[in-house]
Amino acid sequence: MTRVPKLTDALLTLDNRVATLTFNRHDLRNALTGSQLIDDIVTTTNWVNHCDDVSVLVMTGAGSAFSAGGNIRDMANRGGDFAGDVAECADRYRKGIQRIPLALQEVEVPIIAAVNGPAIGAGFDLANMADIRIASENAKFGETFLNLGIIPGDGGAWFMQRLIGYQRAFELTLTGRIIDAAEARELGIVLEVVPAEELLGAANAMASRIASQPPKATRLTKRLMKMAPRMELKDFLDVCANFQGMCHNEPEHLEAVNRMLEAMAKK
């Protein structure tokens, strides 16, 4: 049986190749600062990348919120991650919340964000770091940094414009307005909106469908999807050729082909 790491402020489970990470600081609306959630997320990503029994990672929040982002009380008090002069504060960002985008960007399996409630500020950015977002009807999204006189210090401006384009990302970031789940779907931020009681079921159905695919090919395919935007076509095709050679020499490929042939024979 695969050992799941013990976390401090989050819960982690593994079932049928689907790992589910639940942010469990509902008393803080799952704020990423002022809690141990940063460490928990980074620990989970490292475990996922080294655990061959995981094919999909689902992230969600306990309680009413997905994540409120930064701890505003700490901001008001110039404490916690927001203490110190310019150099000290910058160093805290690098050693603190900026570890999340770097870690999630390196995750080898598909990530699904099941957004159960408000995803605000860094919480919104966290959702945008996933590959797929499914939202509850209770979900709200807001790139609210400018409302507090700060910038998206966790890389949110990098992720959002790649998701929905520069102009729409610019408008949401510069106005700091909060949008509901329906508008998030219209903008292409979320793939699907479902009733609150159906959220985890919908996320798990998608995760299970992906997890049923050959696991090594799934990880290679995600790597290709991440590589494609930053590579020239000829270089990308060279990588595809090498990855394909790897796939053709894996037992899971022959197993999948034989299953397909058996299914065709029954028709």
102's tokens: 């770097």
Alpha carbons 265 and 238: distance in angstroms, whole number: 35
- pLDDT of res. 74: 84
Residue 108 makes CB contacts below 8 A (sequence gap 6+) with 48, 49, 219, 222, 223
Beta strand extents in the chain (DSSP E only): 10-15, 18-23, 56-61, 111-115, 119-120, 132-136, 140-142, 178-180, 192-194
8 A C-beta contact, residue 51 and residue 18 = no
pLDDT band at 1 (very low <50, low <70, confident <90, very high): low
Biggest CA pair distance of the chain: 70
Q: Tell me what the mean pLDDT of segment 63-68 comes to.
A: 97
- pLDDT of res. 73: 86
Residue 92 makes CB contacts below 8 A (sequence gap 6+) with 81, 82, 83, 84
DSSP label at residue 7: -
Which pLDDT tens digit goes with each residue over 196-218? 999 999 999 999 999 999 999 99
8 A C-beta contact, residue 38 and residue 93 = no
Alpha carbons 22 and 57: distance in angstroms, whole number: 11
Percent of the chain with pLDDT over 70: 100
- Please tell me whether the overall predicted TM-score, pTM, comes out greater than 0.85 for this model: yes
Which pLDDT tens digit goes with each residue over 211-258? 999 999 999 999 999 999 999 999 999 999 999 999 999 999 999 999
8 A C-beta contact, residue 145 and residue 175 = no
Alpha carbons 191 and 202: distance in angstroms, whole number: 11
Q: Tell me what the mean pLDDT of segment 89-114 comes to.
A: 97
pLDDT higher than 70, residue 61: yes
Average pLDDT, the chain: 96
Which pLDDT tens digit goes with each residue over 133-168? 999 999 999 999 999 999 999 999 999 999 999 999
- pLDDT of res. 224: 98
